[in-house]
Structure 1
Amino acid sequence: MRNWSELNHDLLGEIVLKLAAIEDFVYFSVVCRSWNRASSLVKCTWKPTMPYLLLAKNEFQNPKFLRKVYSLSSDRCYKLSLPHTFRFRCWGSAFGWIVIQAGPSCITNPFTNARIRLPFVPTMWCEVTPLDNEDELATFYRQVTTRKLVVIQDVESGNDGGNDGGNGLIVFAMHTNWKRSLAFARPGDLTWTSVVAPRQPFTFRAADVVRRDRLVLILYEDSSVGYVELSDLSKSINLEQSSVQAKEFVPSPSPGDFKPRLSGMHLLEMYLVDSFGSLLMVLRHKSTKWDPNGEVSEDEVYKTVRFEVFGIDFKTKKWDRLKDLGDVALFVGDNQSMSVRASDCRNCKSNCIYFTDDCDELWDLPGYAGGHDMGFYDLEDGKIYQFYKGGNVHSTHCTPFWFVPHF
């Protein structure tokens, strides 16, 4: 064909849907009017396969409140104006939305500028003291309330959650409180609904949440997994102290069945990933050094030293150690834990775990900030490598995190 602009729109649409990166989608749409029309017809259906990295804010000479988005596929940065994300903790999702923790929390789509308010973050074990200073407010909410906010899709709603109304989305908040460590809300809810742990009294907090089919699975810090059905969440009511009871999916392992390797002064983060039919528990080990005189470099105060990955055997309900992820790469940190087929993405290495800094409990050390603990861990050789060497990394409020853009 001499004139590519005369290609059938259905054929062009199929080509667009195979594009992996958002910049490829944009480049395709500006070739000509015909290609722009074809791309607009599948714009709401198309989804990138690779997460993007939203870098930390830059407050110096930044009147437009621009933040950089790093594309691992192209090794380039792009700019977005995101004033409402400044000075507050944020978490990324696989559905285009970013969760912002403020007084009234919200979710926002940085590419469409849609924003939806959520209920006030429940403090669970303390009263909210009004603070005039935004920096103090952001620190207060981070230290005494929410550890992580995760967005999932409600498949029973028949909506993929990618629309600007947020229909079909459920936001889970993992809190610092030991007795009531998990709650959820949908866009439009007036209050948060608590999720009660399967066993009481329960002294382990919720570490991560993931949806698998019609179940929401909850990883607790004792490596047990609870679950609630999506249909149970739709029955929630906006009354004070309303709650949903979680049930046991995977019991807490005995010492003989499972024992993570621990050594020296360390921190441990846990993630739960639904990866192409497999349910994975990822353990992230961090070494720590502290010198009250401030003689330890910022990069040495804490840093990730290794990962361990375990897969659940659905027959025995036990965790098995995995040494090879195959063609899969994982993305963890201050975001919904995600996995991708590495062969479908440019510049993405298989059998690796890409991670960002989520050690928020140490971001307030005098003279220090978070953001430096970032890279990817190769399960084959057990080494950590850097994928980004630019700026806009350090912050005491919101360090870089992964998210998947949606239009």
Structure 2
Amino acid sequence: MDSDWTEIPTHILELILEKIEPAIDFIRFGAVCREWRCAMKDNLQQRIKTLHNRYRYFQVPMLLTSTTEDDNTWNMYNVMNNKFLETKLVVPYDKRFCGSSKGWVVTVNKDWTVTLYKPFSMVQYGNNNADTCVIQLPPLFPMEYEEGVEPYDPLEDFPNDYDIYIDPENVYYFHVYKALITHDPLANPDECIVVVIFSDMNELAFIRLSHDGGPQTWIKIEPKFFSEDILFYNDLFYAVMGDGSLRSFDLRCSSVNSTIRELAHAIPWITNSGKRYLVESYGHIIMVERFIGFEQVKIKGRKTKSFKVWRYCFDSNTWIQIESLGQMSFFVGDNSSLSILASSFTGLQPNCIYFTHDVDGLYGSSRPPIISDLGLYNLENGEFKLHFTIESDLLKKMNNRPPVWLVPTL
């Protein structure tokens, strides 16, 4: 006589769940039947509450990569054991993901509409609710080009120049530089706000989701300021500018512009090329500076040279450089930057910055970039471990669809 898995007592399921750590095992557990999925969700919520509130994510992010010939199939790379998962994720999108936040990826379509996908909830383990894991948003301030104008690639005339240039054929999926989601759109739609950095001027815009399905409209934040990254912390939004200065604003107010506050002053770059990220850790606002060097222009190679880390001091409104992350690990890239307690996960390296190849001025031109700038950086000794254990032939398959960190959430 066959066993009825649905009849296993809840307390037994809870004992099993307490032994599970990797996210993929949660997915497999929840795919058995409805009863097991409900037990899995309850257990996951309890773990999030019992784990220190300052650690926003229970699971370590995985690297969402395109290493197959199927345009809609994505692989997941686990940095804790340096292996690809057997399970494939199917996301009906074959371009660059312009953001990853709260377990969702953000895309821009040819008609300038924005789509949110929740890949781990779309995994095909008998889950038939894939449609509920896709959210369509209205057009995001479309860019306009004159008809009949031939696309111009300045690299043809100036092969040694790194001018920022995006091919008009591809401009729509580079329209959003980065995206942030405040709350899960399915679990907390009335509290969910999507904020994006968009356009070639790195402007800010946001949209509120609603449970009742009311009209949704993107709203620009004025005045414009060139933003590198955004962070949601203690009900306020923070944006770091291209010069390293920090600003805050409150989207709960009807007049958002009146809430903009200038906080930390600028930090000049010591080189001409770099990126800045914001991450909340231990209740602190942290800025990560990434210094990048470019190799041959024709192959568009790039390499991260070093990192610096700064903590914002609320009392003095200044950045203070820090030399150690302690037991924390940071994950930076096109995703919402993350801070994870390394001691909670076997194989995760403390005091390290895990980074991936994200958008830069060379993306989107008529020649595809070479994806090579990913790995981990040890803040204590300044050593790099590049590419993890991903082989070069697999890296080449990622050229048109750069990898992005994704938190496994269901």
TM-score band, normalised by shorter chain: 0.7 to 0.9
TM-score for both structures, normalised by structure 1:
0.77
CA-to-partner distance for each residue in 1:169-214, whole Å, 9 max, x for gaps? 2211112354x711111236532111124xxxx6x50111111111
Query: Within the alignment, does 1:140 sit opposite 2:171 as a pair?
Result: yes
2:246 pairs, out of 225, 238, 241, with 225
Q: Would the alpha carbon gap of residues 122 and 31 (structure 1) be closer, same or farther in structure 2, given more than 3 Å must change?
A: closer
Task: Say whether the 8 Å CA contact 1:226–1:250 is kept in structure 2.
Answer: yes
Aligned to 1:190: 216
Aligned to 1:268: 274
Q: Would the alpha carbon gap of residues 209 and 356 (structure 1) be closer, same or farther in structure 2, given more than 3 Å must change?
A: same
Query: Within the alignment, does 1:73 sit opposite 2:80 as a pair?
Result: yes
Task: Say whether the 8 Å CA contact 1:195–1:245 is kept in structure 2.
Answer: no
Aligned to 1:239: none
CA distance in 1, matches of 2:97, 2:32: 38
CA distance in 2, matches of 1:405, 1:272: 21
TM-score for both structures, normalised by structure 2:
0.76
Q: Would the alpha carbon gap of residues 27 and 71 (structure 1) be closer, same or farther in structure 2, given more than 3 Å must change?
A: same
Q: How does 1:166-185 map to 2 (within 5 A)?
A: 166-178=189-201, 181-185=203-207
CA distance in 2, matches of 1:207, 1:91: 13
Structure 2: segments with no counterpart, 5+ residues? 49-57, 122-129, 149-165
Aligned to 1:383: 383
Task: Say whether the 8 Å CA contact 2:113–2:138 is kept in structure 1.
Answer: yes
Matching residue's letter, 1:20: E
Which range moves more in the overlay, 348-357 or 16-25? 16-25
CA distance in 2, matches of 1:371, 1:230: 36
CA distance in 2, matches of 1:191, 1:32: 38
Aligned to 2:314: 314
Q: Secondary structure at the match of 1:361?
A: coil
CA distance in 2, matches of 1:38, 1:282: 38
Matching residue's letter, 1:149: A
Q: Secondary structure at the match of 1:353?
A: strand
Q: Secondary structure at the match of 1:111?
A: helix
CA distance in 2, matches of 1:141, 1:304: 27
Q: How does 1:56-71 map to 2 (within 5 A)?
A: 56=66, 58=68, 60=69, 62=70, 65-71=72-78
Shift of 1:24: 3.1
Aligned to 1:152: 182
Aligned to 1:110: 119
Q: Secondary structure at the match of 2:116?
A: strand
> Structure 1 vs Structure 2: percent identity of aligned residues?
25
Q: Would the alpha carbon gap of residues 359 and 38 (structure 1) be closer, same or farther in structure 2, given more than 3 Å must change?
A: closer
Task: Say whether the 8 Å CA contact 2:377–2:384 is kept in structure 1.
Answer: yes
Which range moves more in the overlay, 217-226 or 188-197? 188-197
Q: Would the alpha carbon gap of residues 369 and 33 (structure 1) be closer, same or farther in structure 2, given more than 3 Å must change?
A: closer
CA distance in 2, matches of 1:83, 1:30: 18
Task: Say whether the 8 Å CA contact 2:66–2:73 is kept in structure 1.
Answer: no
Q: Secondary structure at the match of 2:186?
A: coil
Q: How does 1:389-400 map to 2 (within 5 A)?
A: 389-390=390-391, 392-394=394-396, 395=398, 397-400=400-403
Shift of 1:72: 1.9
Q: Would the alpha carbon gap of residues 151 and 392 (structure 1) be closer, same or farther in structure 2, given more than 3 Å must change?
A: farther
Aligned to 2:230: 209
Query: Within the alignment, does 1:86 sit opposite 2:94 as a pair?
Result: yes
Give RMSD over aligned pairs.
3.4
Task: Say whether the 8 Å CA contact 2:100–2:334 is kept in structure 1.
Answer: yes
Aligned to 1:21: 22
CA distance in 1, matches of 2:251, 2:14: 33
CA-to-partner distance for each residue in 1:139-175, whole Å, 9 max, x for gaps? 11245x322222223xxxxxxx263674432211112
Aligned to 1:119: 138
CA-to-partner distance for each residue in 1:110-135, whole Å, 9 max, x for gaps? 122311111212246x45979xxxx9
Structure 1: segments with no counterpart, 5+ residues? 154-160, 237-242
CA distance in 2, matches of 1:57, 1:169: 32
Q: Would the alpha carbon gap of residues 182 and 357 (structure 1) be closer, same or farther in structure 2, given more than 3 Å must change?
A: same
Q: Would the alpha carbon gap of residues 384 and 354 (structure 1) be closer, same or farther in structure 2, given more than 3 Å must change?
A: same
Aligned to 1:156: none
Task: Say whether the 8 Å CA contact 1:119–1:185 is kept in structure 2.
Answer: no
Aligned to 2:40: 39
Aligned to 1:288: 294
CA-to-partner distance for each residue in 1:55-112, whole Å, 9 max, x for gaps? 0263x3x38x32111122343323434342213433211x221111223111111122
